[in-house]
Structure 1
């Protein structure tokens, strides 16, 4: 009989790729979620679906009793109490893997290292919040719940990805850049193009989850990120190559962006302070990242098939006004 993986979440982005990763490794998989989104595995014989709300402990406990999974992957634990409940319910599983975040780190260090770089504090009011401002705090407290569970004998571990990109990314952050680069000859890039922010390809997150479930140590956190960390200007070049187009980036300072009522932080993926995760701990388990050429080919292909154009960035009209101000539009 094949091993059984339970994926809490599992139909949208990271969870979707995680289900595929475990399937291809020979596991039977059950997806647990509320069923609010289309199930891409509805016709897959080795994928079952159990409907329930992960924030309702009785639903999750019922799934645990009915399924007794070998591996549990928690894609949608957004509050510390979610992790405390899951590590109790699945205490007898061979592995429980919590998807944390690189945003859990509280100190700006280059690089950020597991067990060395401090995590964010999480006061009580943040632990029960659901706003973006407390996301990193809640993920950090979820990590602490994993460590506490491991101290009780649970084989619980966590994965810390930075911003994730790839096929089926519903956030629109990476789509913004693909759409601009593929659609326009000239685009605005914030700053001088040297902004450094670690990203990670979604399929690599999925493979890291399985690697940690199979080879990881209880109570450990594992950073996961691309093998090479391009600066933003280099990302523009890499995406243009993947799209098969030429693009002319125009770099704009905070002062120049201010002339059209915009700032550096308005652009997706911009981060003022460098964000780099050390990934040697995960690599020591035998994990390897995908090349950017392969990752971007798959990402661009799926983007073209979707209707996504990106969001949360300056609209094209504003961008063209700035290009005109900077004297780059004929």
Structure 2
């Protein structure tokens, strides 16, 4: 299998490249070389997808059995790129997101759920501003990126992957790493909501394997990718962090309404905590039916902690927004509202 991976140095892109190389596939990455280190063993094409001359080199380096686009954010750009690659690649796999659904994060989702409206030639300014409990510009633009690829490759040659929350080694957003560092520090830890609230993150390595298996089986279409429903809870996540770090942390569970009154920002100050009912209700049964596997959550947590022991400090702009300050946490722990 000859793959062209657009991106391929960070998190899921890196996991895809490593897994493909492990299968003995020929992998070429196309990126600017600014976001992460190249995986040893790949053929590297340096270039900017916005530069026609750079893109021409990626076309000339073909043909490809498949293109995997890890960094599609602006429909207009994806439309131009996919049109150029349509003549030299059999298939195009786009890594999208569950944020493309109109109902995210307010309601349960399946592949049949309505998708946000965005034309395939939209630019980065398309659509209204984000709202807390509804559609985001990011999700709307991703929906446009999906339409752009479909316009270029057609349904028979397009694979669209819509992940929910992906965790594991090399995570640059910093959600699981924040929890691991906080739990490792020990003491009383603010834990959000109900301990038995179910969650369904999926391991980055399982996601990567599913992408490659689906391509190998020549199975096109659209798939939500998430962990199983009703298997793991938030308490399972924090307990796994405690075991992985050998911590003496004591979890103090605060109801949602208390945290909201205290001004705690969902999804960022307490990562992975969100009260909207659709966040952890993503139907991934179609993916499981064709081979998606989801390893135990404790394995994902332990592997992430092991990676963190030698990993560089997270510098991604999104990671700077993650986590409750110790002062804010102390104020919550001392809150009379809870007692």
For normalisation by structure 2, the TM-score amounts to 0.84
- Which deviates further from its counterpart, 55-64 or 173-182? 55-64
Q: Is the 8 A contact 2:8 2:38 kept in 1?
A: no
The ranges of structure 1 where at least 4 consecutive aligned residues each deviate by more than 6 angstroms after the TM superposition are 123-126
1:22-60 C-alpha deviation (Å, 9 max, x unpaired): 10111111111001134242xx3x411111012334422
Q: Is the 8 A contact 2:256 2:275 kept in 1?
A: no
- In the alignment, what sits opposite 2:50? 55
Q: Is the 8 A contact 1:127 1:141 kept in 2?
A: no
Which runs of structure 2 are paired with 1:146-295 in the superposition (5 Å)?
Answer: 146-151=149-154, 155-218=157-220, 220-227=221-228, 229-253=231-255, 256-257=258-259, 261-265=263-267, 266-274=269-277, 275=279, 276-295=281-300
- In the alignment, what sits opposite 2:68? 73
Cα distance between partner residues in 2 of 1:248 and 1:62 = 55
Cα distance between partner residues in 1 of 2:107 and 2:264 = 28
Q: Is the 8 A contact 1:77 1:99 kept in 2?
A: yes
- In the alignment, what sits opposite 1:120? 116
Cα distance, 1:294 vs. partner? Answer: 2.3
| CA gap 1:127/1:217 in 2 versus in 1, 3 angstroms | farther
Structure 1: gaps of 5 or more residues: none
| CA gap 1:194/1:141 in 2 versus in 1, 3 angstroms | farther
- In the alignment, what sits opposite 1:306? 311
> Equivalent of 2:8, from 5, 10, 23?
10
**1:321 matches 2:321:** no
Cα distance between partner residues in 2 of 1:10 and 1:245 = 34
| CA gap 1:150/1:66 in 2 versus in 1, 3 angstroms | closer
Cα distance between partner residues in 1 of 2:123 and 2:195 = 36
Structure 2: gaps of 5 or more residues: 131-135
Q: Is the 8 A contact 2:270 2:324 kept in 1?
A: yes
Q: Is the 8 A contact 1:161 1:225 kept in 2?
A: yes
Aligned length: 321
| CA gap 1:14/1:124 in 2 versus in 1, 3 angstroms | closer
Q: Is the 8 A contact 1:257 1:264 kept in 2?
A: no
Cα distance between partner residues in 1 of 2:204 and 2:324 = 25
Tell me how large the CA RMSD over aligned residues is. 2.9
Q: Is the 8 A contact 2:79 2:120 kept in 1?
A: no
